[in-house]
Homo-oligomer: A and B are copies of this chain.
Amino acid sequence: MEPLHNFDRLSLNQITTDRLNMREAVDCCVRAGVPWIALWRHKVAEAGLAASRRLVRDAGLRVSSLCRGGYFPAATAEERKARLDDNRRAVEEAAELGTDTLVLVCGPAPDRDIDYARRTVAEAIAELAPFARSHGVKLGIEPLHPMYAAERSVVNTMAQALALAEPFAPDDVGVVVDAFHVWWDPELYAQIERAKGRILGFHVSDWIVPVPDLLMGRGMMGDGVIELRRMRHAVEAAGYAGPIEVEIFNRQVWDMPGDEALSLIKDRYLKHV
């Protein structure tokens, strides 16, 4: 399988260099020749929305996605409404920042009733989709690894994310394929094929053995067991030619100086993705 030969599609997901503020992350990308960046809302809020937009544009970077909307299920109708309002703000921010993709981490159930939480997610997406469309923003449903089902998202497989997305036009609601979350799925490649025309993002990192930590245990590409190149070829065969985000929650990576992290990422990107 062909490796990548340049960095045209490489995107730094801001969480990978979590200790850097907006300006530092942008500067690192520029120095490294990384053309894309994925932004997180809390970091955008820290730097200011208009300032973030300016920093990124002035640097000539493009925003691959905004992380994240979602967290739809809640214990009360009032709280569910508040979360939907917050998602509308997320859509507006995405539009303002010049990205067409809002990543959805759909949220956990507020109680033991996971089926109900899943229905709530479907309803919320139906309500949010027309609003997002009117802002030129696509909703990218990201299935999260089943180990996060109780704490972060009740959407845990590609099949489930696709079933949520398919009632909508592919230009409005799609899926984000994050290798760390889906690599284990026996149906992965069949579901990637099913996702044809509906893949809105591809995130890479690696699954280290043994897993050091549930949340902070993602590895640098090449340090784990995920067949990243195979997965990239599969999403490409399913029509995805967009940016490839490197999204790594890992304290060792966080502790590296930004330029060093970017240099390692570029190396591993060519070798393993």
A: residues with CB less than 8 A from B are: 108-109, 111-114, 118, 145-147, 149-151, 156-157, 159-160, 183-187, 207, 209-211, 214, 224-227
Contact = CB atoms under 8 A, between A and B. Distances in A.
B209 A151 contact: yes
B146 A114 contact: no
B227 A184 contact: no
Given A150-B184, A150-B225, A151-B210, 17 more contacts: A109-B225, A111-B225, A112-B225, A113-B227, A114-B184, A114-B225, A146-B146, A146-B147, A146-B184, A149-B183, A150-B207, A151-B211, A156-B184, A156-B185, A159-B186, A211-B214, A214-B214
Nearest to A210: B151
A149 B184 contact: yes
Nearest to A228: B112
A112 B156 contact: no
A150 to B, nearest CB: 5
A172 B192 CA distance: 34
A214 to B, nearest CB: 6
Contacts of A227: 112-114
Contacts of A186: 118, 156-157, 159-160
16 contacts: A112-B226, A112-B227, A113-B227, A114-B183, A114-B225, A145-B146, A145-B147, A147-B214, A151-B209, A151-B210, A151-B211, A157-B186, A159-B187, A160-B186, A211-B214, A214-B214
- Most-contacted residue by chain B among A112, A183, A187, A226 (CB, 10 A): A112
Contacts of A226: 112
- For the complex of A and B, list the 7 residue pairs with the smallest distance between their C-beta atoms, beginning with the closest: A149-B184, A147-B147, A146-B184, A160-B186, A146-B146, A150-B209, A150-B225
A156 B157 CA distance: 12
